[in-house]
Amino acid sequence: MSCNSGFKCHVENCKVRHDSLLHIDGIDSHVVNLAKDWNSSKVCLSIVPVRLYGLKGCLEFYALLDSGLDTSLVCEGLINQLGNKGKETSIKVATVNGTTNCSAHLTLLLISN
C-alpha cells in the first residue's frame, strides 16, 4: 500500500507534509515531548507521526497523544478519505471544562507508527 499524506505545511520554507498547526521551528524529532507548565492553565501533549489504514489504503498524519483518553478519536474527514463507514452512536466526552454528549461513528481502523 502506498501512503500519501494530504497535508501540506504552509509555513515558509517548510517542505514537511504536516498540518501547519503542527509546525514547530527548530525541532527535528519524530516525537515532540512536552510537559504541563504548572504556572499556566495550558497543557501540552505529545505529537507523533502515524499511519492510519482503512478500506481505501492509508494516510500519514500527526496524532496528538493524550494519556488521559481511553478511546481513540479520529476526524470524520480522515475516515471519509479512507472509505470507512461507521455505526452512528452518541458518546459522552468529559474534559476538565465539563461533560458533553457528541454524535459519533464507530469504525475499525489500524494505526501504526
Residue 1 lies in a domain: no
Query: Could you tell me which of 61, 50, 58, 69 has the C-alpha nearest to residue 21?
Result: 61
Per the domain annotation, does 61 fall within a domain? yes
Q: Residue 55 above 60 pLDDT?
A: yes
Residue 26 lies in a domain: yes
Q: Is residue 11 part of a domain?
A: no
What is the number of domains present in the chain? 1
Q: What is the pTM of this model?
A: 0.53
In a domain, 12, yes or no: no
Domain assignment of residue 53, given as a range: 20-112
Residue 89 lies in a domain: yes
User: Is residue 100 over pLDDT 70?
Assistant: yes
Q: Quick one: pLDDT at residue 101?
A: 92
Q: Any residues with CB less than 8 A from the CB of 42 and at least 6 apart, and which?
A: 36
